[in-house]
Structure 1
Amino acid sequence: MIVVTRLNDSQFAVNPDLIERIHASPDTTLVLVDGAQFVVRESMEQVIGMIASYRAEIIRLARDLPTGTETPRALGLVPGPGTTTTTAAVPLRPGRQ
């Protein structure tokens, strides 16, 4: 999300993936894919810079994710291979086995 400022100085966050186009004549207007329009204080260049920074951050975060070659850590939700459970099975529907 990027944070932009309305003309009344209130701020809001918008998903930059939903921005269809940006107009600057003279105020900067964000037009979303659903047709919603927002007039903001930031210039078109500033909004484009925020979108580029947001996307660069997403790529950086994706690169920091595990690659799949690491040993996965157990979350304790499901018994791992070779382990046995000592609890009884719970039927999904009462009265049925």
Structure 2
Amino acid sequence: MIILTRLAGSRFAVNPDLLERVEATPDTVLTLLDGTKYVVAEGLEEVVGRVADYRATVIATARRLAEEQAAAAELEHQVEAAAPWPDDVTPRLAPAVPLRRRRRS
């Protein structure tokens, strides 16, 4: 979402993916895909810049998440490779301790 200002001074957020076009006539008019129009105080270049910044942030976040996921997968692979026993040997576990009911006195 990008934050813009109506001519009356109130601020609102708009989803840039819903923008069909932005016009400067001389006021800046946003037209959404459904035909809704908003007149904003920001200039055409500023609106376009905010949309570009928003999209760059989305792409950068997606890339960062993909890199983090790849790093986590690599770490998991390293942990599996460093296991103290071979794949065909199951580690010996301590015997299970049975649970007992408490006796009422």
- Partner residue, 2:51: 51
So what's the TM-score if we normalise by structure 1?
0.69
Following TM superposition, the consecutive aligned residue runs of length 4 or more in structure 1 with deviations greater than 2 angstroms are none
2:70 aligned with 1:67: yes
Amino acid at match of 1:67: A
**SS in structure 1 opposite 2:70?**
coil
2:91 maps to which residue? none
Deviation at 1:67, TM superposition (A): 3.1
**Aligned counterparts, 1:1-97, within 5 A:** 1-65=1-65, 66-67=69-70, 70=73, 71=76
Unaligned 5+ runs, structure 1? 72-97
Shift in Å at residue 48 of structure 1? 0.2
Q: Give the TM-score taking structure 2 as reference length.
A: 0.64
Aligned-residue sequence identity (percent) comes to: 52
Amino acid at match of 1:48: V
Q: Distance in 1 between matches of 2:52 and 2:64?
A: 19
Shift of 1:50: 0.0
